[in-house]
Amino acid sequence: MSFKIRMISATSLYDGHDASINIMRRIMQDKGVEVIHLGHNRSASEIAIAAIEEDVQGIALTSYQGGHIEFFCYVRKLLDSAGYQHIKIIGGGGGTILPSEAAYLHQHGITKIYLPEDGLKLGLDNMINEVVEYCNFKIPKISKQKTQPWKLNKVLDPRALSNAITLLDNNEAKKISKPALKSKPIWGITGTGGAGKSSVIDELVRIFLLNNPSKTVAILSVDPSKQKTGGALLGDRIRLNIASHPNVFIRSIATRNSLSSLNQQLKNMVSATSAYGYDLIIVETAGVGQNDISILECCSQTMYVMTSEYGAATQLEKINMLDFADIVCLNKFDRAGGLDALHDIRKQYKRNHKLFKETDNNLPIFPTVASHFNDPA
């Protein structure tokens, strides 16, 4: 199969019951699916726009709070109005969705609503096998002649770019028809897994748009594929509150190679994104190790995000990105050891760059607590 099955997993607005969707997306990953996880309390427009930007085959959606008929049907309406009738919507809600309501939803474009008796009859594994089979089809190419007018809340129509990235991801497009615009900034954000790269990006983009309200931003966020199953958890959207901003495009990308922190087509994806008119492009890598500097290949400026939990100070001598990063971000600075880490990182940066006489405040090393909204750092 030359393509991958990609699915959105989410829970409906005003619904905090995410246990079932978490179980489902884990099993889907085990089946080789690339799952873009949105988490709980998501609006219909958030889900629909994410599905379009991510160019998925299906949406796995749960609703336990009532209002499911209106919610499921509205997601379907938004997708259909944008020309995405091919996206399957599969859902459940335990005992809150009656058999008669499930039948109504099936008649109104919802692919499948699973009721409690379905789970008892099929079991979780077989139920997910059925879901995967519903979504086992190749994403159709966008036809400019048949594209319906764009009415959703995004300044730039993302449909052609989303489809172009899909073609590159599946190795179906060998060349980019438009060259990258070299004058546009391309920021590369890399760092260790769990350092808070997505939260840092969220704050950076929020501040950028606050000061440049007419500008547009595209975020290409890379997460690792599992070597054993081929599946992936693409979970950065759950940290990016800025995703709902009209000026922001987000695409989650799996490495599709367990030995790399980047997708092999990422440079072409960046070129395509630049050609589609976004003013700023941000590339986020999967979590990297001490020797990884692959982000330098496709970005004009880079930031290395780390925390104080790197071990002994001698470990800093092994981090290649301290030689190359334009900015070093010491995130989660509120944790124990933050001040000591800042001192050690500054010392190592001076050694690496032969800046022995430089004052600490002039170094491009910034302590942050990106999880705090409006972090002054």
Kindly tell me if the per-residue pLDDT of 372 is higher than 90.
no
103-142, pLDDT tens digit by residue? 999 999 999 999 999 988 999 999 999 999 999 999 988 8
Percent of the chain's residues with pLDDT above 70: 95
pLDDT of res. 73 = 97
Helix %, strand %, coil % for the chain, to 5? 40, 20, 45
In contact, 64 and 91? CB cutoff 8 Å: no
Kindly tell me if the per-residue pLDDT of 375 is higher than 70.
no
Q: Averaged over 5-33, what is the pLDDT? A: 92
Among 130, 104, 135, which Cα is nearest to 8's? 135
Tell me the pLDDT of the chain averaged across its residues. Answer: 91
- Which contacts (CB < 8 Å, 24+ apart) does range 25-31 have? 25/60, 25/233, 27/124, 27/125, 27/128, 28/60, 28/128, 28/131, 28/132, 28/231, 29/226, 29/229, 29/231, 29/232, 29/233, 30/229, 30/231, 31/128, 31/129, 31/132, 31/229, 31/231
Compute the distance between CA of residue 321 and CA of residue 327 in angstroms, rounded to an integer: 10
pLDDT of res. 190 = 93
pLDDT of res. 304 = 95
pLDDT of res. 174 = 63
pLDDT of res. 94 = 84
How, if at all, do strands 217-223 and 186-191 pair? unpaired
pLDDT of res. 261 = 75
pLDDT of res. 193 = 87
Of the listed ranges 12-16, 151-155, 226-230, 348-352, the one predicted with least confidence? 12-16
H or E element that contains 295: none
Q: Which two tokens stand for residue 16?
A: 């905090």
pLDDT of res. 328 = 96
Kindly tell me if the per-residue pLDDT of 377 is higher than 80.
no
H or E element that contains 183: none
For residues 179 and 17, the model is more confident at 17
- Model confidence band, residue 16 (pLDDT cutoffs 50, 70, 90): confident
Compute the distance between CA of residue 182 and CA of residue 151 in angstroms, rounded to an integer: 30
Q: Which residues contact 33 (CB under 8 A, 6 or more apart)?
A: 4, 5, 6, 7, 132, 135, 231
Q: Averaged over 151-158, what is the pLDDT? A: 93
In contact, 283 and 189? CB cutoff 8 Å: yes
Among 250, 229, 223, which Cα is nearest to 28's? 229
- Which contacts (CB < 8 Å, 24+ apart) does range 350-353 have? 352/322, 352/323, 353/323
φ, ψ at 15 (rounded to 5°) = -125, 115
For residues 376 and 121, the model is more confident at 121
Compute the distance between CA of residue 351 and CA of residue 172 in angstroms, rounded to an integer: 46
**β-bridge partners, 284:** 189, 221
pLDDT of res. 183 = 65
166-205, pLDDT tens digit by residue? 999 998 876 554 545 456 899 999 998 889 999 999 999 9
E strand map for the chain: 6-12, 34-42, 58-62, 88-92, 112-114, 186-191, 217-223, 232-234, 248-254, 280-284, 301-306, 327-330, 365-367
pLDDT of res. 1 = 56
Q: Averaged over 363-368, what is the pLDDT? A: 96
233-257, pLDDT tens digit by residue? 999 999 899 999 999 999 999 998 7
20-71, pLDDT tens digit by residue? 899 999 999 999 999 999 999 999 999 999 999 999 999 999 998 888 999 9
- pTM of this prediction exceeds 0.85: yes
Sequence length of the chain is 377
Start-to-end C-alpha separation, the chain: 47
